[in-house]
Chains A and B, each alone.
Chain A
């Protein structure tokens, strides 16, 4: 396994453990470095009889998070640690709204229901990369900095083969992001209608 992929895998589990610690033990936020250190040690902790660590054992269930998920998780950690990161709710709703539509379309076309496979475009198609680049440029100009940075990060992570996948889609979206986006959008809709 490449170093970048290994760091990605352990980094995402570490951040998830930090979130769990922050949510269950509020005082942990006063000791952020300690929290990250403990979480990193847990992610690297060997699991008896497997020859693997905790992060490796969780990998088949969790998979690799996309850049979008990783950045949103990092923002959530920052928010819980009260680092004063501000994201406009409109931009977040826009991002998650698009994810909740695009995700099911991507997953449906990658199934046996349609002859067209949107997922295959992520391997070598320059059209998808150009599309992502145009959205990133438009988002930056339109002052949607989160979306712009997210797209650019995904594009570079894909080009540098940082993750395990060779497919650009996997750096943009993952099933957990799509599920969270659906939950978020449903919550927003319910809030607006009640």
Chain B
């Protein structure tokens, strides 16, 4: 009896491991498509505010299969307050239009009941649209303590974000599932699984890269960096199995963006070192350009978040400044950029504007090229 049960268990374990496909990024993550944008586009607007929500932060955006953009962010009386909820709004990609009035996507009280545990606060959201057109909304939750004891939960929408499933928890740490957070853009794999950049903040501060399939099964969880100084990795695929990770530096001088590389689809990472880009302990965002360069939105200061800029690089280490999107007095804040492409050379950027609004910029490759030709 014992050995029969053991034999069946082992057979099922072997079968489970064989369902895992090689870690190859989806072609649209790294392919250098020809730029077809002839008209230069640069539009800036704000997502409407909610009167009862004075503070907003940490926006994320994704393209939907119905031709719309869906944005999400957290907002409330202040960051970490128990009235913080995750809000969402939509906008048409192709037609001129405006953002819809925000609605609550995740409410702390409801989420607490769904996850069957008390929640103190909600944090960074991350939207991902998978190959089937389902929208995954990952978000940070805290039951005990501060952000360093966070966990990640997720909801799925199969109707373009109109409704979401009940929240489910991801278990990613052996110590009471503490200290895993999300913030930056996800990548698609050829087998339709998703690569989710994550980070850890308790004792150590380091980047992680999780691969999760369409059933919510975690396939791998690997460290991008070690130590106590780098979080919020933004990952850009540069080939079928090649990727560059760019990380926010949390301590130490000089304050520079950290660069790492993977050559096996995110299964292992090596840290190349500090890039020539300043980083005032602030989140960054990056995507692939049609000319194979990497485009980054970052705070181009060593202190303060009052300057939000664009830079481009071929290797992730050496960057060329392109343009200042925002520049104001030292106390101003333009932070937490989130950058995606809806098509090759079509960029959509969200960022926190003075902690009170979420700003949106749509620009294209023609506009970028006009900057470089100046």
A interface, CB within 8 angstroms of B: 1, 6, 9, 50-52, 56-57, 59-61, 63, 106-107, 110-115, 117, 119-120, 123-126, 129-130, 133, 136-137, 140, 148, 152, 155-156, 159, 164-167, 169-170, 173-175
Contacts and interface: CB of A to CB of B under 8 A. Distances in A.
Nearest to A154: B9
A119 B118 contact: no
Contact of B12 (A50, A107, A152, A159): A159
Given A50-B112, A124-B220, A136-B6, A170 B118 contact: no
Contacts of A155: 6, 9-10, 13
11 contacts: A6-B116, A52-B118, A59-B117, A60-B143, A106-B174, A123-B219, A130-B10, A133-B6, A140-B2, A159-B13, A173-B174
B118 A123 contact: no
B9 A120 contact: no
A166 B171 contact: yes
Given A56-B117, A165-B171, A126 B227 contact: no
A136 B13 CA distance: 15
A9 B116 contact: yes
Given A51-B113, A119-B174, 14 more contacts: A6-B116, A60-B118, A107-B174, A110-B174, A126-B13, A126-B16, A133-B13, A152-B2, A152-B6, A159-B12, A165-B171, A169-B174, A175-B175, A175-B176
Interface string B107-123: 00100111111100000
A133 B17 contact: no
A164 B226 contact: no
Contacts of B113: 51-52
B17 A126 contact: yes
A12 B171 CA distance: 18
Nearest to B177: A63
A38 B14 CA distance: 43
B343 interface: no
Nearest to B115: A1
Interface pairs A-B: 10 shortest CB-CB: A112-B204, A129-B13, A60-B143, A126-B17, A165-B171, A112-B206, A63-B176, A155-B9, A133-B10, A56-B116
Interface residues of B, number: 46
A51 B112 contact: yes
B228 A112 contact: yes
Nearest to B13: A129
Contacts of B227: 112
Given A112-B205, A137-B6, A1 B222 contact: no
A117 B3 CA distance: 31
B218 interface: yes
A47 to B, nearest CB: 9
Nearest to B166: A1
A119 to B, nearest CB: 5
B8 to A, nearest CB: 9
B32 interface: no
B223 A112 contact: yes
A124 B144 CA distance: 29
A148 B113 CA distance: 37
Interface in B212-233: 217-223, 225-228
A166 B174 contact: no
A6 B114 CA distance: 12
A8 to B, nearest CB: 11
A56 B118 contact: yes
Interface string B155-198: 00000000000000101011111000000000000000000000
A115 B223 contact: yes
A167 B169 CA distance: 13
